[in-house]
Amino acid sequence: MGAAGCSRQMVSPLSPPPYKAEVGAAYDRTWTALVRALARENLPLRAIARDSGVIASDDVITPIGLYADCGRIGDERIEGEALVAFTLFVEPGSDVTRLQINAKMRSHAARRGPKGKLRPTPVYQCASTGRFEANLLDAVRELAKE
């Protein structure tokens, strides 16, 4: 029981709601711009279905802090690598196209703070920083104007 009192508490990041946005272009133009933007990001895709408006990515390894926030233990941030995957939903509207991006993230190899060896366990659930989503939507809006 004495050892349990010395351990530091794990603080998980709060998961944001799905990222939602609108693009001021027709569905076909937005879809083409989205596919081009994903190709520029070199994001590996698991599934792409234009008729249902769904695009799903494979897991991608990124540094923790870039797209994923995995929280902290005590005062030390969890650092290392995270596995991230995105599912995009595209829905036509009257004058705009609605997009929703869901993110799934977890640590792949992590350590507490900047020192120490990366370890695959334990696995920490992570939350999106919102950078990928915001950058992707900026690129889609620019490409849809062309």
Q: How confident is the model at residue 7 (pLDDT cuts 50, 70, 90)?
A: low
- Whether 67 and 128 have beta carbons less than 8 Å apart is answered as yes
Coil, strand or helix at 13: coil
> Closest Cα partner for 100 from 111, 89, 114, 84?
89
Residue 2 reports pLDDT greater than 70: no
User: Tell me: the pLDDT tens digits for 61-110?
Assistant: 999 999 999 998 888 899 999 999 999 999 998 889 999 999 999 999 99
Domain 9-145: which topology?
Answer: Alpha-D-Glucose-1,6-Bisphosphate; Chain A, domain 4 (3.30.530)
Helix (H) or strand (E) holding 37: helix 27-41
Listed range (13-17, 86-90, 138-142) with the worst mean pLDDT: 13-17
Listed range (12-26, 46-60, 74-88) with the worst mean pLDDT: 12-26
Spans of all domains in the chain? 9-145
> What is residue 79's predicted lDDT score, i.e. its pLDDT?
94
**DSSP strands (E only) in the chain:** 10-11, 19-23, 45-49, 54-57, 60-63, 68-69, 72-73, 76-92, 97-112, 125-128
Residue 141 reports pLDDT greater than 90: yes
Coil, strand or helix at 102: strand
